């Protein structure tokens, strides 16, 4: 009804006026009925002579009153119906308004719920993004730590391998030095033994020569030249023996470069200390191949010390000229 009043106020005003008119008509009709009944009471007194017209008039009046009563009842029913209709419309409007309020409340609650859910989703997504970023950071840190550990392990392994190689090289060097010392000592013993034997032989020869010389002197002859040749022959053998030993030791330590061609020859001038230690090595004449010349020098240094005699016999070994060729040492 309120909606009708908002949309069509003139019709509402007309309806109200109509209802007021009907109400006034109802009140007027009721007053007329009461007045008429009061005025009609004497008519009901018995008058035999005028019975027919009176009856007719009463019937007419009764019918009129009945009609008016029916009209009034109808009007009352209409008013009651209108009131009921208005009440129903008001109730419908109230119910519609309540439904609208409930609908709006439900929409408001739904909006708040959606807002809350959206906030929770955003919060959850933010937490997931944060957790993913932290996980990625931890994985990156773990990867860096693993990489650092791998590098450290590789470095430790490399250092351990270098240390092992150094220790192995040191062992080999010490073993080679020990072998060379033992070899030198053995050769020195051999040289000393040979020198002792040579001294004994020389002493015997000298004694024989003295005896021969005495005999010759007694016979008036001379034999010095023979003794001198014998002594010189013994010295030449000793020199050749030591030279052979020197060449043999150097050859064992010589590692010729790959691809060495025949015809190369380098001459090294070597100065030795008493006892065979190498004092100096110089290239007296190069082969023209630096690798070949260098391998000869390295072989000589590796063979240090060289086997040499002792005493005055060493004087011939103080300076040596050694010729290296692919076929050997001269």
260-305 pLDDT per residue, tens: 888 899 999 999 998 889 989 999 999 999 999 999 999 999 998 8
Reported pTM? 0.33
Characterise 113 by phi-psi region: left (phi > 0), alpha (psi -120 to 50), beta (else). Answer: alpha
pLDDT cut 70: percent of the chain above it: 73
Instruction: Assign 123 a pLDDT band (cuts: 50, 70, 90).
Output: very high
The set of residues, in sequence order, having a beta carbon less than 8 Å from that of 150 and lying 6+ positions away, is none
Give helix 290-302 / helix 224-252 axis angle, nearest 10°. 110
Q: What is the pLDDT of residue 192?
A: 64
Distance CA 83, CA 47 (A): 48
The overall average pLDDT reported for the chain is 78
């Amino acid at each position: 009804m309120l909606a009708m009043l908002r949309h069509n106020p003139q019709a509402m005003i007309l309806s109200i006026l109509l209802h007021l008119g009907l109400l006034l008509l109802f009140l007027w009709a009721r007053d007329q009925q009461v007045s008429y009944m009061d005025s009609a009471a004497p008519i009901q007194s018995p008058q035999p002579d005028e019975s027919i017209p009176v009856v007719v008039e009463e019937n007419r009046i009764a019918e009129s009153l009945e009609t008016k009563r029916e009209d009034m009842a109808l009007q009352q029913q209409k008013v009651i119906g209108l009131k009921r209709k208005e009440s129903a419309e008001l109730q419908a409007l109230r119910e519609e308004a309540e439904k609208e309020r409930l609908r709006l409340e439900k929409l408001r609650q739904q909006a708040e719920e959606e807002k809350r859910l959206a906030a929770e989703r955003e919060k959850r997504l933010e937490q997931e993004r944060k957790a993913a970023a932290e996980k990625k950071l931890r994985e990156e840190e773990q990867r860096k730590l693993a990489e650092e550990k791998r590098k450290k392990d590789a470095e430790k392994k490399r250092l351990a391998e270098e240390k092992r190689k150094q220790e192995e090289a040191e062992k080999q060097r010490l073993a080679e030095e020990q072998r060379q010392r033992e070899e030198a000592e053995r050769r020195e013993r051999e040289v000393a033994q040979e020198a002792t034997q040579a001294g004994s032989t020389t002493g015997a020869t000298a004694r024989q020569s003295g005896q021969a010389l005495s005999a010759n002197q007694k016979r008036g002859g001379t034999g010095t030249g023979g003794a001198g040749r014998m002594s010189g022959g013994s010295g030449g053998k000793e020199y050749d023996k030591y030279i052979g030993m020197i060449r043999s030791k150097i050859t064992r330590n010589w590692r010729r470069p790959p691809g060495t061609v025949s015809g190369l020859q380098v001459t090294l001038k070597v100065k030795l200390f008493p006892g065979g230690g190498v004092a100096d090595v110089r290239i007296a004449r190069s082969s023209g191949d630096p690798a070949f010349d260098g391998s000869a020098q390295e072989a000589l240094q590796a063979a240090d010390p060289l086997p040499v005699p002792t005493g005055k016999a060493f004087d011939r070994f103080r300076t040596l000229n050694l010729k290296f060729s692919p076929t050997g040492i001269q």
